[in-house]
């Protein structure tokens, strides 16, 4: 059957996990560098957004200490860009003041923690210690990857728009965990999962029709209002979305099932990808574009998605 990883392709454990300090203040940056180096990290530095993005792209740090006031880009936008490079990177947001709303936004974008300045040295040491130990434990499991033939993960989500983005981020991290440095099409898979989960929520569990969504989109807050109204209905509010992800050597398989009444997907399958007659309603078409195989079961309540894993490149002569 094969295994998820060819043991020869498992990247070696680095001597020290990489940590990027993205902080414009020289004094603060030096303090963060010293604290991280003392814990055992290999420390990289950037004083502005462009340098942070380039370092993240080329050096692939496992941890980023990100000042939300880094020049060159709005802090939350920079956070989103950095997370897009590698969903497995742990980003700690650093703010110049205590701002609960900003903290909530940063965490929603995927930050693993949020600290405000002046940063308490004890809090910083505790956080760095936790991150370092988590990374070392992850490295310790790498040799076991060569023994895994197949792995299955199951999730059960409430019908909540806020949970969907977190679920996709988690599943993206699972891709890295399962396939390491293999050439997995993470962007396409993430987009397909977003579409499939949104369909399961809106059209499956909440039974929002195409026409109802079209009418709601005429109001800037119409979709959110419509979803909140449906979630308040007793017969709909407790429905869930069920995800099964199977990580096999040659393909990734997802099953996403809702608790709705189901639908006939055949009409949707006739839509060409270039059909732009509406700003929505193209989810199924896009999913078919992103994934290698798409099918439905249970009367349209469950969608099956798969993506092939390319074989490893032959060793160079």
pLDDT digits (tens, 9 = 90+) for 216-249: 888 888 889 999 999 999 999 999 999 999 998 8
* Six-digit token string for 237: 């509010």
**Amino acid 159: pLDDT:** 93
Residue spans of the domains in the chain: they are: 15-142, 151-308
Which range among 100-109, 122-131, 205-214, 301-310 shows the weakest confidence by mean pLDDT?
Answer: 100-109
Phi, psi for residue 92 in degrees, rounded to 5? -105, 120
The matching CATH number, chosen from 3.40.50.11030, 3.40.50.2300, 3.90.550.10, 3.10.129.10, for 15-142 is 3.40.50.2300
Q: What is the pLDDT of residues 130-173, one digit of tens each?
A: 888 877 766 655 566 667 778 899 999 999 988 988 898 889 88
Question: Which residue carries 């990374």 as its tokens?
Answer: 135
Residues 6+ positions from 304 with CB-CB distance below 8 Å: 253, 254, 255, 293, 294, 295, 296, 297
Rounded Cα distance between 291 and 251, Å, is 11
Apex 243 CA angle, 90 and 162, nearest 5: 55
Percent of the chain with pLDDT over 70: 82
- Which overall architecture, per CATH, does domain 151-308 show? 2-Layer Sandwich (3.30)
**304, burial (CB in 10 Å: exposed 0-12, middle 13-18, buried 19+):** middle
Average pLDDT value for residue range 84-104: 82
| Residue from 159, 244, 261, 232 nearest 202 by CA | 159
pTM of the model: 0.56
């Amino acid at each position: 059957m094969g295994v998820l990883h060819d043991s020869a392709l498992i990247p070696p454990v680095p001597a020290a996990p990489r940590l990027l300090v993205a902080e414009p203040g020289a004094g603060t940056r030096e303090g963060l560098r010293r604290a991280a180096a003392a814990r055992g990290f290999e420390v990289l530095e950037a004083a502005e957004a462009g340098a942070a993005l380039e370092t993240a792209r080329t050096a692939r740090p496992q941890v980023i200490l990100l000042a939300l006031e880094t020049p060159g880009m709005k802090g939350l936008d920079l956070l989103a860009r950095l997370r897009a490079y590698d969903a497995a990177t742990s980003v700690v947001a650093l703010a110049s003041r205590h701002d609960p709303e900003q903290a909530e936004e940063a965490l929603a974008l995927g930050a693993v923690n949020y600290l405000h300045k002046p940063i308490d040295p004890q809090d910083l040491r505790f956080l760095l210690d936790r991150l370092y130990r988590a990374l070392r434990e992850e490295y310790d499991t790498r040799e076991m990857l060569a023994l895994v033939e197949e792995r299955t993960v199951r999730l059960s989500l409430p019908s909540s728009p806020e949970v969907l983005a977190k679920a996709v981020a988690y599943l993206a991290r699972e891709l890295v965990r399962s396939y390491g440095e293999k050439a997995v099409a993470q962007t396409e898979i993430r987009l397909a999962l977003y579409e499939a989960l949104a369909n399961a929520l809106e059209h499956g569990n909440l039974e929002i029709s195409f026409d109802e969504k079209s009418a709601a989109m005429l109001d800037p807050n119409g979709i959110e209002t419509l979803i909140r109204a449906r979630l308040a209905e007793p017969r709909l509010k407790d429905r869930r979305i069920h995800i099964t992800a199977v990580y096999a050597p040659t393909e990734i398989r997802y099953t996403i099932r809702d608790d709705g009444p189901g639908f006939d997907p055949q009409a949707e399958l006739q839509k060409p990808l270039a059909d732009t007659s509406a700003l929505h309603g193209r989810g199924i078409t896009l999913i078919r574009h992103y994934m290698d195989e798409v099918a439905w079961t249970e009367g349209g309540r469950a969608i099956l998605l798969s993506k092939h894993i390319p074989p490893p490149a032959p060793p160079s002569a």
